[in-house]
Amino acid sequence: MDMVPLNNQISMPLLGFGVFQITEGSLCEQAVLHALKTGYRMIDTAACYGNERAVGAAVRASGIPREEVFLVSKVWIQDAGYEKTMRSFAKTLENLQTDYLDLYLIHMPYGDYHGSWRAMEELYAQGKVRAIGVCNFLPDRLVDLILSHKVVPAVDQIELHPFCQQKALREVLAQYHIQPMAWAPFAEGQSHIFTNQTLLDIGKSHEKTPAQVILRWLRQEKIITIPKSVHAERIEENFAVDDFTLSPEELDHIGRMDTGHSLILDIPSLAEVHRLHGIRFQQ
């Protein structure tokens, strides 16, 4: 398992397993359990996904020691602010049946995220979280957060795939030694990504699928990613990306696929702000 050092010197797997939209408890538990048996050692969940309990159950059922599994979760907008974040974090630990997280993230750059960050800095200082970070923070709010607090985020989890490569944002992340982490590495199947001719041609030369080519590209770019599937064969396929290497020319071809904009989540959009603020859940 390839690892990457974060800016606080702890190491994190470059490839993990995501559980976004796997809302059925038993289905989620079985998918995570199969991922762990396949060899994944990082699981990414969130309070608003509604599946932290299933993730925790799978980790316990796997028999893998807790210290060998890198657990990630997130605090949602409705729980932004110091006190709410503290309560949400305690519920996350209860759901996952663990006494610490490896990485805790602010899920969206909305609401009182400064209050959330104060809480997360405190949890980090207490050793209840090994690293803290953010999701979907663009340069302006990211740098504002950095300049307003003591701890620099270790990770920024962002929409990142061949059609949205976040090159400008990644330059800012590099400046502050923040590790990019890609959600939706397959662009949620949009723009015919699985039948894209560039990816098909590269995959053919390595006897790999377009999905495997994307995951290998991210690996070579040192970008953490969290592909999701509930199908055993896909879970295994997504893990099998260590036995080939993309050439500089192939990396360049993928680099040229970038459209320069999001396909899934338009963070600055007022409509998106209203939509995401409207999402409520019971943790």
Which residues have a catalytic role annotated?
49
Amino acid identity, position 210: P
Q: Is 163 left (phi over 0), alpha (psi -120 to 50) or beta?
A: alpha
Q: Please state, in angstroms and rounded to a whole number, the distance separating the CA atoms of residues 190 and 195.
A: 10
Angle of CA points 175, 180, 184, to nearest 5°? 150
Query: For residues 22 and 62, is the Cβ–Cβ distance under 8 A?
Result: no
- Which stretch of DSSP H or E encloses residue 212? helix 210-220
Amino acid identity, position 115: G
Longest Cα–Cα distance of the chain, Å, equals 54
Q: Where are the beta strands (DSSP E) in the chain?
A: 3-5, 11-13, 17-18, 42-44, 70-75, 103-106, 132-135, 155-159, 179-183, 224-225
